[in-house]
Amino acid sequence: MKLNRRHFIGTGLVASAILTAPTVWGQAKAKVVVIGGGAGGATAARYIAKDSEGAVEVTLVEANPVYTTCFFSNLYLGGFRDFESLQHGYETLAGGGVTVINDMATAVDRAAKTVTLASGAVLPYDRLVLSPGIDFKDGSVPGWSADAHAEIMPHAYKAGPQTQLLKAQIEAMPEGGVFAMIAPPNPYRCPPGPYERISMVAHVLKERNPTAKIIVADPKENFSKKALFEEGWAKHYAGMIDWIGPDFGGGNVEVRPDTMEVVIDGEVTKVDCCNVIPGQMAGKIAALAGVTDEAGWAPVDPASMKSKMDENVWVLGDSSAQGDMPKSGFSANSQAKVAAMAIRGELTGSRTFPAKYSNTCWSLIAPEDGVKVGASYEPTPEKIASVESFVSATGEDAALRKATYEESLGWYAGITADMFG
């Protein structure tokens, strides 16, 4: 082919457009691959597909064909919800323009901009969203590893069969038996989660097995809504719960799954059910993609949730290290909307607006005794920073606590509709 001046100018224009323009005019549709179909990933996939109206090709990779929400799984343990109510399919999302692939992502090649799946399939992307939740740190609880012992001492901290197993174990406890929880060190998913769980276990035992005891070994001096939980435990479950903080050796723990023993500060206790919630880090694929730091989390730009390691990668939810926001479904959902806006802006030139983030965590202490904590956040150059916050007060009347619980049911219906369509 003869190369004339006109032809040369033409390709030059295209090349410079690719290099400089945020938009990808005249090419094949821009591709976004989202890994993880929870509160961060499903929301991001849905919002990008919905708001770009077909201009962006969105693929969601999620290992489970049916998603079980970790939020509200404690209410299942407490008998306030059935298991099916925690489960959500991806049909509506798929009908809304998202290609849903039920597979496991096993590798990310950031240079080639591809994701490899367990099936061997390779997905190219222009922008990648990682929202893989948490994984557990091996060795964080001496004597316990997820692979070897989760069937004996469940973590139940990724909702699914583990949650069902823990419930069955609680219900099978002998009369007057002992339930133990090994609470996690910071940072971890759902800060009030372990303590709401204790409340739910106490509620079940109070009804079925009122002479049973609960011990909690905790490496943290303080935890989310501590005053509210302590007040609620004294009110509803007096004498049942023994919370052992670090001052009394709660951080010096070993478990012996073979003999069902828990060793707290050298003292051996025989237990009938043991919930081990280990130390946590970003979901494995984030580390495989090379976007995590030495602490095991993925640092992100506070204004957009974009990875600090790669301008084409976003990390949402539990896996991200962003600053003040707690690791929660609400946070992930909030972050996903900022990310979806930023990604659409880069790929289609759509308008972008300043990031706003928010979070609220509701917890149930006893029937119709709900409490909440929340905050709003804004990006600063260093981190996502808390702007304003609130927390339920101790001593609130029953009508307000009931309203708070009912509000949490409304939130669950709202966020799951927002995630899955």
Partner 1 sequence: MRIALTSLGLLLAIGTVPGVAEEIGDAERGATLFARQCAACHQIGDGAVNRVGPQLNRLFGRRAGNAEGFTYSKSMARMGADGLTWTLQTLDAYIENPKALVSGTRMNYRGMKDPEDRAALMAFLRDWSDKPRDIPEAEPTARKTNPDLSPEILAMEGDRDYGEYLSSECRTCHQADGSDQGIPSITNWPAEDFVVAMHAYKQKLRPHPVMQMMAGRLNDEEIAALAAYFATLD
- Residues in the chain, overall count: 421
Least CB distance to partner 1 at residue 316 (A): 14
Draw the binding track, 340-369, toward partner 1 (x: CB under 8 A; -: no contact). -x---------x-x--x-x-x---------
Nearer to partner 1 (CB atom), residue 76 or residue 233 = 76
Distance CA 343, CA 16 (A): 21
Residue of 375, 379, 384, 420 interacting with partner 1 (CB under 8 A): 375
Residue 400 touches partner 1, criterion: CB under 8 A: yes
Q: Give the phi and the psi of residue 85 in degrees, each rounded to 5.
A: -70, -15
Query: What type of residue is 365?
Result: I
Q: Are 336 and 12 in contact (CB under 8 A)?
A: no
Closest CA to 65 of 45, 35, 95, 37: 37
Shorter beta-carbon distance to partner 1: residue 122 or 417: 417
Secondary structure letter of residue 323 according to DSSP: B
Q: What are the residues whose beta carbons fall under 8 Å from the beta carbon of 421, sequence distance 6 or more?
A: 46, 92, 93, 95, 96
Min dist. Cβ of residue 406 to partner 1 (A): 4
- Among 88, 337, 347, 348, the residue binding partner 1 under the rule CB under 8 A is 337
Q: Which span (202-210, 258-266, 313-321, 375-383) binds partner 1, by CB under 8 A?
A: 375-383
Q: How far is the CB of 404 from partner 1 (least distance, A)?
A: 9
Query: Where would I find the H helices in 304-374?
Result: 329-348
Per rule CB under 8 A, is residue 303 in the interface with partner 1?
no
Residue 87 contacts residue 67 (beta carbons within 8 Å): yes
278 and 180 Cβ atoms separated by less than 8 Å: no
Report the relative pairing of strands 98-101 and 56-61 from DSSP bridges: parallel
319 lines the binding site for partner 1 (CB under 8 A):
no
Instruction: Confirm or reject binding of residue 275 to partner 1 (CB under 8 A).
Output: no
Regarding 203 and contact with partner 1 (CB under 8 A), the answer is: no
- 10 Å Cβ neighbour count for 296? 18
> Given candidates 334, 335, 348, 363, which one binds partner 1 under the rule CB under 8 A?
334
389 binds partner 1 (CB under 8 A): yes
C-beta of 341: minimal distance to partner 1 in Å? 6
| x-marked contacts with partner 1 along 75-114 as a string, rule CB under 8 A | ----------------------------------------
266 sits in the region (left: phi over 0; alpha: psi -120 to 50; else beta) called: left
Assess 376 for contact with partner 1 (CB under 8 A).
yes
Location of structure tokens 């929202």: 131
Enumerate binding residues for partner 1 (CB under 8 A): 47, 330, 333-334, 337, 341, 351, 353, 356, 358, 360, 372, 374-376, 378, 387-390, 399-400, 402-403, 406-411, 413-415, 417-418
